[in-house]
Amino acid sequence: MRVLVIEDDVKAAGFITKGLRESGYVVDHAEDGHQALERALSETYDVMIVDRMLPGPNGIKVVETVRSEGIATPVLFLSALGDVEDRVEGLKAGGDDYLVKPFALSELLARIEALTRRGKAQGEITHLSVGDLELDILSRKVTRQGQRVYLHPREFKLLEYFMRHAGHVVTRTMLLENVWEYHFDPQTNVIDVHISRLRQKIDKPFDSPILQTVRGAGYKLEAAT
């Protein structure tokens, strides 16, 4: 379970991340609004904990931007601003819960569990589409322009990851960690080989390529225009 903690107060961030990691969560930390948006828009999390008062874009702006990009990750606002108007503003911005500082770690953990249960109850996404490319996770079926595309298991997982991050740059490190589950660089061309094979199947037979190389950054899948 991955949690993004967006908190500029060093002590508070350390307290929260330590408590979450001791409870078994994988935790990333962003200390300002810019870092928060960079992570939230490029990586996948199960829950985001967002402080309202941040350097750069504040917590409200961060959540509004994330929601405008179609990202439905549950958001728990964590703030010293506890008036009714503050809580309403946070929830209207796209927050799913609101906890006022100071707080007990046990309550924070309980609220995170409730948010993740709610997310699971709403069902996970099993069908992805980007332009004329479609992927059904349950049937393991991929089509483009209605034509069946046959993929090996690793190619399927690679394409699923690209489609879940459609429109965003995906780095080689992200692919290694999330598709191959490597947390180190194996110093091989494994990614290049699989990208080449995937392009042969989803791009070459069709008029418009949708898997692009972003020089110096990684790759991006987006609908052909």
H/E/C letters for each residue in 48-97? EEEECCCCCCCHHHHHHHHHHCCCCCCEEEEECCCCHHHHHHHHHCCCCE
Q: Per residue in 50-67, pLDDT tens?
A: 999 999 999 999 999 888
| Positions of the chain with pLDDT under 50 | none
pLDDT at position 8: 94
pLDDT at position 120: 61
What size, in residues, is the chain?
225
Beta bridge mates, 75 = 48
pLDDT at position 52: 92
Q: Per residue in 8-39, pLDDT tens?
A: 999 999 999 998 888 888 899 999 999 999 99
Contacts of 108 (CB under 8 A, 6+ apart): 16, 19, 49, 76, 78, 99
The pTM of this model reads: 0.56
pLDDT at position 119: 62
Say whether 176 sits in a helix, a strand or coil.
Answer: helix
User: Which residue shows structure tokens 């964590």?
Assistant: 78
Chain center to CA of 102: 28
